[in-house]
A and B are shown apart, each in its own frame.
Chain A
Amino acid sequence: GAVVSQHPSWVICKSGTSVKIECRSLDFQATTMFWYRQFPKQSLMLMATSNEGSKATYEQGVEKDKFLINHASLTLSTLTVTSAHPEDSSFYICSAPMNFWSSGPYNEQFFGPGTRLTVL
């Protein structure tokens, strides 16, 4: 099956610093990738849609200047948390879709293993 990787798997940083998280589709190309944030014991909340070759689309309430997304190639998207603060501590998960066909076209999402960010 399709594999999506994330790096790093965990990171601890000081308040005010920036952190970059990479999401890679290892064996398929993805013109679109999705970034989610998950707080402890809660569901995944979509933050933004990363689009290869164009600007990311952010969900309502997500600060685009704080969470910078760059879709550098068809297999790599990066999320940079700028000027991180303790409230940004969370589990960040990316996903990439592949197109399939059943009774009609649909997309199946493949998820990365997640990145645990802790801001001190």
Chain B
Amino acid sequence: AQSVTQLGSHVSVSEGALVLLRCNYSSSVPPYLFWYVQYPNQGLQLLLKYTSAATLVKGINGFEAEFKKSETSFHLTKPSAHMSDAAEYFCAVSDKFGNEKLTFGTGTRLTIIP
């Protein structure tokens, strides 16, 4: 069974400050990991994904995440927050062997302080 834990249901950062959203996973097989962003009343947009090609993954809108197997983590970061980054962020996991199902974390709401 797989699971994802997102620490912090709400995170607030000042505009221009570092964004750090935490995600820890549990998986009995090598995982594929994803970060999605959701704006109000919209579907999910993929920010970035880890598929074992490289441990440091760069995504859209200046976000990146690092897969750390020893820590079972896949934290999302952005060096400088923009107002437009305010949204809900979800970490998700699927297994490596073609399983199409995604297991989502509970989400983190990011607020940007002007």
Spell out B's residues near A (CB within 8 Å).
Answer: 32, 34, 36, 41-46, 49, 51-53, 90, 94, 96-102, 104-107, 109
Residues of chain A contacted by B46 (CB below 8 angstroms): 108-109
Interface residues of A in 28-74 (CB under 8 A from B): 32, 34, 41-44, 46, 49
Q: Is the CB of A104 within 8 A of B96?
A: yes
Residues of chain B contacted by A102 (CB below 8 angstroms): 51-53
Residues of chain B contacted by A106 (CB below 8 angstroms): 32, 51, 94, 96, 98
| A10 to chain B: closest residue by CB | B41
* A: number of interface residues (CB 8 Å): 28
Residues of chain A contacted by B52 (CB below 8 angstroms): 102-104
Distance from B36 Cβ to chain A, minimum over Cβ atoms (Å): 8
| Interface residue from A44, A91, A116 paired with B90 (Cβ < 8 Å) | A44
Q: Is the CB of A49 within 8 A of B101?
A: yes
> Dominant SS at the B interface?
loop
Spell out A's residues near B (CB within 8 Å).
Answer: 4, 6, 32, 34, 41-44, 46, 49, 91, 93, 95, 97, 100, 102-109, 111-114, 116
Docked CA distance A107–B95 (Å): 10
Residues of chain B contacted by A111 (CB below 8 angstroms): 36, 43-45
| A33 to chain B: closest residue by CB | B100
Distance from A60 Cβ to chain B, minimum over Cβ atoms (Å): 13
Q: Is the CB of B53 within 8 A of A103?
A: yes
Residues of chain A contacted by B98 (CB below 8 angstroms): 105-107
Residues of chain A contacted by B106 (CB below 8 angstroms): 42-43
Docked CA distance A41–B9 (Å): 10
Residues of chain B contacted by A6 (CB below 8 angstroms): 43
Q: Is the CB of B104 within 8 A of A44?
A: yes
Docked CA distance A93–B90 (Å): 14
| A57 to chain B: closest residue by CB | B101
